[in-house]
Structure 1
Amino acid sequence: MIEVLDRDSRSVSQLDEEGDIAADYIEELLDIADLDGDIDITTKNGRAYVSVNDGDGADGGLSLLSRPETVNALQELTRLAVQNKTGEFSRLILDIGGSREARTEQLRVMVEKAVSKIEAGSEREAFPAMSSYERKLVHDFVSEAGFHSESEGEGRGRHIVISPLS
């Protein structure tokens, strides 16, 4: 059998393993917290994606965990759990109760507002610090809008600045 490799040289089976480890970790966390949720695992663009959603449409308490700061913290803990089992850094993405979709829409609106300010004469617009995944989304939105973006700063202070194309 030929194993297909993704962009960072991880095979699909390796990403599936990351997703399974992450799902087990999240399932244990939900059990400890006495919360209900359905867990879905997918892989795309060189990452394992783990989504936790209310199974029956009722709020099984996931709203408590779906705040962006909480999801980011749980994502980091889950990545550490995966790394502990595999010995490899994980680029896993965790979504709880649709929080990633909501954040993606917030980022899209932020880009639209910044683009409007640049079209009105601003030379550049800076965004607040954000994760590498969020920065990638913003870079994509800015590019789609026909503007230039670049990341500035280091570590937790890394952020994006957009400007007109030169």
Structure 2
Amino acid sequence: MTNNDAVEVPEAPSLTKRLEEEGEIAADYLEELLDIADLDGDIDIDVEHDRAAVAIVSDTDGLDDLVGTDGEVLDALQELTRLAVQARTGDRSRLMLDVAGFRAARRSELSELADKAIARVKESGSSVSMDPMNAFERKVVHDVVTAAGLKSDSAGTDPDRYVVISPS
């Protein structure tokens, strides 16, 4: 081989392409689950905030059991789906799963709660601690706080971790 001979290295798949593949694998896994559970639902795949986003949507109310109380079943289903993706790709997945719009509605509620806490911090000049939240919920609050120009940190230990919002 001479110096002029180029060795072709296969190009790594783009992040978007890899995330779309994660979404497809997750959709296949979830479609099988819906078939086994005899539930009707459509699977939507997207890429949001550098992660695969998969949603199970339905015109009927039959998906409530996949959400569970306060989204506990949804959290477990998301972890199982992430594991299914990891088993196929060999890479850890940060996929986000939503069922029947539960996470979208919760994101909206949390944004409102964060806005109220931000207003209290700005008014008082003191830190405000929020109620315990899971990782998804804390991330939503941190994003809202950052956009408002304030600081936030998570404190405590799971399952009682919470967000503390402080003046900047």
Q: TM-score range by the shorter chain?
A: 0.7 to 0.9
Whether 1:24 and 2:24 are equivalent positions in the alignment is no
Whether 1:37 and 2:38 are equivalent positions in the alignment is no
Query: Structure 2 counterpart of 1:23, which letter?
Result: A
Q: In structure 2, list runs of 5 or more residues that go unmatched.
A: 1-9
| Aligned match of 2:119 | 116
TM-score normalized with structure 1 length: 0.81
Query: Structure 2 counterpart of 1:138, which letter?
Result: V
- Give the number of the structure whose alpha-carbon radius of gyration is greater: 2
Which deviates more from structure 2 when the two are superposed, residues 73-82 or residues 138-147?
Answer: 138-147
Superposed, 1:56-135 pairs within 5 Å as 57=59, 59-67=60-68, 68-121=71-124, 123-135=126-138
- Alignment deviations for residues 37-63 of structure 1 (CA, whole Å, 9 cap, x no partner): 010111132211111101xx3x15012
Over aligned residues, Cα RMSD in angstroms? 2.2
Query: Structure 2 counterpart of 1:62, which letter?
Result: L
Question: Which of 144, 151, 156 is the aligned partner of 1:148?
Answer: 151
In structure 2, the CA distance between the partners of 1:138 and 1:35, relative to structure 1 (3 Å rule), is: same
Q: 1:66 touches 1:98 (CA, 8 Å); kept in 2?
A: no
Q: 2:20 touches 2:47 (CA, 8 Å); kept in 1?
A: yes
Query: Structure 2 counterpart of 1:124, which letter?
Result: S
Aligned positions, number: 157
Q: 2:125 touches 2:167 (CA, 8 Å); kept in 1?
A: no
Identity %: 47
Q: In structure 1, list runs of 5 or more residues that go unmatched.
A: 6-10
